[in-house]
Amino acid sequence: MLGSDGEERSLVPLDWDEPTDAAEDLQRFVLFRACEEWFGLPIQSVREIHPLERVTRVPNAPKEILGILNLRGRILALFELGRCLGIPPGIGLNTHAVVLDVGDPELQVGFGVQRIAQVQGLAPSAIEPPPSREGGPSGVEGICEVEGQVVSLLDPARVLARPLSDWGVTVEVQGPVGG
């Protein structure tokens, strides 16, 4: 994200300890840009973030799959977030892979993202329900504003439910965002 002086901030380490609000426990989210929009994932859903170097396209793969990459000797299936959500994928290049924890240590999946911003603590009261749209993006669990930007908060299990079910894989649901 950009600071007030217009300078881009560096990524806050994932083990960063944010001060807690005495009145309300903060939920931590990894914020990133994909599909020309800002998104957040609950920190407990993120295994790691890895710079993208080489993604290998897979012939005849479903449209949601950007490709695969070798991550320390293990194959990671990289998904296009926009296609999983049913929104335009955007024109920016994906520079990072957000590797997800979907409840199965053997399942290596992630999203290609344009930019990693920060780890942000959010009070549940700051999270609004997503606008109810018939046929809207599945997996958007809440909306909030961070530094003047609208951020869609995602449930990765719901985002990946349909693409992974095509492979006969089910993912663990972490629970609702903001609740």
| pLDDT higher at 6 or 38 | 38
Query: The CATH number of the domain where 58 resides is what?
Result: 2.40.50.180
Given a cut of 60, whether residue 129 has pLDDT beyond it is yes
| pLDDT higher at 2 or 69 | 69
DSSP 8-state class, residue 120: E
Q: Give backbone dihedrals phi and psi of 8, rounded to 5 degrees, phi first.
A: -75, 135
Query: Does 40 map to a domain?
Result: yes
Given a cut of 70, whether residue 171 has pLDDT beyond it is no
Number of Cβ atoms within 10 Å of the Cβ of 157? 19
Query: Does 2 map to a domain?
Result: no
Number of Cβ atoms within 10 Å of the Cβ of 24? 12
Q: What is the pLDDT of residue 53?
A: 85
Do residues 142 and 175 make contact, with C-beta atoms less than 8 angstroms apart? no
Whole-model pTM over 0.85: no
Average pLDDT over residues 52-77: 90
84-122: per-residue pLDDT in tens? 988 888 888 999 999 998 888 888 999 999 999 999 999
Query: Does 103 map to a domain?
Result: yes
DSSP 8-state class, residue 126: G
10-52: per-residue pLDDT in tens? 444 444 444 544 456 899 999 999 999 999 999 999 999 999 9
Given a cut of 80, whether residue 1 has pLDDT beyond it is no
| pLDDT higher at 108 or 7 | 108
Which residues lie closer than 8 Å to 77 by C-beta, 6 or more apart?
65, 68, 108, 109, 110
Q: What is the pLDDT of residue 121?
A: 95
Domain that holds residue 100: 27-165
Q: What is the pLDDT of residue 177?
A: 54
Residue carrying the six token digits 């700051």: 126
Number of domains in the chain: 1
Distance CA 131, CA 135 (A): 11
Kindly report the average pLDDT of the chain as a whole number: 81
Query: Does 132 map to a domain?
Result: yes
Average pLDDT over residues 62-81: 91
Give the distance from CA 140 to its chain's centroid: 10
DSSP string, 45-60: GEEEEEE----B--TT
Query: Does 177 map to a domain?
Result: no
Q: What is the pLDDT of residue 87?
A: 87
DSSP string, 47-114: EEEEE----B--TT--TTEEEEEEETTEEEEEEEHHHHHTS---SSPP-EEEEE--S-TT--EEEEES
List the strands of the sheet with 115-122, edge to edge.
Answer: 115-122, 27-34, 37-42, 149-154, 140-146
Query: Does 20 map to a domain?
Result: no
